[in-house]
Structure 1
Amino acid sequence: MKKIILAAAVLALSASAQAQSDTGGPGVQLRPFVGLGLTWGGDKLDSVEFEDGYSTTIRAGGLIDVKAGVDVHFDSPFSAQISVGYHFQTVRGETRHGDDGRKTFDRYPVEVLGHWDLNDQWRIGGGLRWSQNAKFSSSGALDVGNVEFDSSTGAVIEGEYFMTRAIALKLRAVHEKFTLKGYSTAPEYDGSHVGFYVSYYFN
């Protein structure tokens, strides 16, 4: 239910952004955006070894992050941004015993960020990130059970370069930790990571 509410909120803000951009509201510019990123880092959660001898590791900071949100630019160098994303790493394939399976670690991050324009192309910023419904799941020949994690609050710092008005490249670092849900003494898993993103801004 939380995911549905958050997604609906972003869609509503996007619609509002489109409407206000069309009317040219003074002092504030609202721009919907979508983004895609690759991230690396975090503690090892599990690993998979395939029949060809290749192995891969699922980490708490990987791997693919897709997001959508709204960028709010004020009549100053300052801007604010809110987004909802889906951040995941999935391993699928045939094990060394010839059976198919899947392992996934995923979560739904909500981010509220502030940025400061250095010039027309560069800006730096940071803010807070709330990762909701984090879960490790598995199935098929790779089934080792499913585990849920408590929601976590983390911090973000980033720099963004606008190649054009619409297309931007971003480097960022995130600090966050995950704890197993329902276990007060469970160890923490470090989900901190670095990432490279491409974003497209509408309007």
Structure 2
Amino acid sequence: MLRLSEVQQVVVLGAHPDDIEIGAGGLLLTLAAANPGVRVHYVLCTGTPDRHAEAMAAAAAFLPGATLTTSLHTLPDGRLPAHWAEVKQIVDDAAASRPELVLSPWTGDAHQDHRLIGELVPTAFRSALHLQYEIPKWDGDLGRPHLYVPLTEEVAAAKVAHLDTCFGSQRDRDWWTEETFRGLMRLRGIECRAPYAEAFHCAKATLRLTA
């Protein structure tokens, strides 16, 4: 069993600024509270300088006290499959930190940028627990996840508040609402008997039995 309080090194990967926080913001807040000083390598494949600045503000808000390193790239939004080699190198470089936990988009995500990163992670990270987060969107691609992280009301509220505060450029989007983010967390909470939760896909995990 991987205890959050024992995790020393984490890699989080997103195609776009805000992907990571939408999909796993509650987990990041819980991780930072359980393990102050945890080392987190934060990787984005796309983004303008303004969007990268938003992401850095979000990383600080969602990971207070963490030792944070970043790898921010400017590949074209929506075109990552056409830049397969560059994305593969970004993922390979991130694996050099040898984390116990890696977070990425889900391989079943309908967005091509998200999906590519999820598919490439297992080719580079051989020993880490790989959790694939979900992102609500127009495509209606939410699946049946396998792993849940229960969240308290306080963590759920903090996630929503940080998203709105840090990503001001997204507020005019019709889906960017507290109701969207809180609603999905509540639904996943129902599925694991918790007030709120985030859900993840996990293609492979190791169960170690000890005496």
Q: Return the TM-score normalized by structure 2.
A: 0.23
The structure in which a higher percent of residues are strand is 1
Q: Decide which structure has the larger Cα Rg and report it.
A: 1
Q: Return the TM-score normalized by structure 1.
A: 0.23
The structure in which a higher percent of residues are helix is 2
